A and B are shown apart, each in its own frame.
Chain A
Amino acid sequence: MNTVLSRANSLFAFSLSVMAALTFGCFITTAFRDRSVPVNIHVSRVLLKNVDDFTGPRERSDLGFVTFDLSVDILCFIWLHLKPIFDWNVKELFIYLSAEYSTKNNALNQVVLWDKIVLRGENTKLDLKDMKSDYYFFDDGNGLRANKNVTLTLSWNVVPNAGILPLVMGSGHISVPFPESYESTKSY
C-alpha cells in the first residue's frame, strides 16, 4: 500500500474477488428457478419417402418430411401469467425440436429436426407457421413407416452467464402417426 503500484494491485485483486462473489450471487439467485413453459405443437402434414441414405449403411431407409405448426410462448411480457425464462442469468436459449420413437432395432430413437437460437433481447414470442424441418429425418432402417407413435418434443438449453447449463423440456408434446405408404420419389 506504500506505492501506487502496490495500491493498484490490491485494488484490482479486491475488485476481482468482489466480482466473483457477484457472479456467484447471480448464479445462486437463479439456480433453483423453473424454466419450463407450456408449448403448443401442431403437426399438419407428414410425408414419408424411401430414398438412399448415403450417410450410413447402403440400404434404403425411411425419410420423413414433417411440416408442422409450432407455437411457443417463451416469455410473456405479462409476468403475472408466465414465469420468464429470461432472467438475468440467461444469455441465450438454444431451442430444438426432437422426435422420439421406438423401432424394432432400437427401443429409443431421438432425432433433432429443427433448432433455433433465441438471444437475449430478441422477440421471445415464437409463433412459427408451416415450418419445415431443418434436418433430414432419417431412420436407420424402415422404422418410420406406419410408426404410430412418433413423439415431437420441444426442449431448450439455457445458456447462463454463470453456473450450470440446464436442459429444459417444454411441457407439451405431440404424438404423430406416420403414414402407411411412401410418397413417390419423383420429386426428390
Chain B
Amino acid sequence: MFSMFNSIPTHMDYKGQKLAEQIFQGVILVSAVIGFIYGLIIEQFGWTVYIMLAGFAISCLLTLPPWPMYRRNPLTWQPIVQETPEIREKPQENLKKKKHK
C-alpha cells in the first residue's frame, strides 16, 4: 500500500531547491508589499493579511509539489564501475577451488 506513495516523486535537485526557495520568498515578499500598500490606502489591516495569505497559498502551489521545472538539473552520478562484480566473484572461485581440493 505504501509503495504507491513511495512511487510519487517528492525530491528536487539542488538547483531546483534553490529556485523553489527564491520563488516562494519572492512571491510572499511581493504579496506582502502589495498588501501593505493596499491596506494602508484603504485603511484596513485585514486586507493586508488576506493578500499576504493569498501569496502564501500561491507560493504553496508553486513550490510544494516537485514540479518538473525543479528537476531539470539531475545530479550526474559516476557510471557504474564494472570491476566490482569481478572482485566479488574471485573469492567465490577460491572457495570453490578449496572445496574441490
Contacts and interface: CB of A to CB of B under 8 A. Distances in A.
A19 B55 CA distance: 11
A161 B55 CA distance: 21
Given A18-B28, A19-B49, A8 B17 contact: no
A89 B40 CA distance: 10
Given A11-B64, A15-B28, A18-B29, A1 B20 contact: yes
Contact of B45 (A11, A21, A161): A161
Contact of B56 (A10, A11, A87): A11
Interface string A1-33: 111100110110011001101100110010000
Nearest to A21: B32
A135 interface: no
A2 B71 CA distance: 11
Interface in A52-67: none
A7 B64 contact: yes
Interface residues of A, number: 23
A3 B24 CA distance: 15
B56 to A, nearest CB: 5
A88 B11 contact: no
B32 A11 contact: no
- Contact residues on B (Cβ < 8 Å of other chain), bracket: 20 to 34
B20 A15 contact: no
Contact of B48 (A14, A26, A86): A26
Interface in A78-117: 84, 86-89
Given A22-B32, A22-B36, A3 B45 contact: no
Given A3-B11, A14-B25, A88-B45, 5 more contacts: A4-B64, A7-B20, A14-B24, A22-B36, A29-B40
Interface of A: 1-4, 7-8, 10-11, 14-15, 18-19, 21-22, 25-26, 29, 84, 86-89, 161
28 contacts: A1-B17, A1-B21, A2-B12, A4-B64, A4-B66, A7-B20, A8-B60, A10-B24, A11-B56, A11-B63, A14-B24, A14-B25, A14-B28, A15-B28, A15-B56, A18-B28, A18-B29, A18-B52, A19-B52, A21-B32, A22-B36, A22-B48, A22-B52, A25-B36, A26-B39, A29-B40, A88-B44, A89-B45
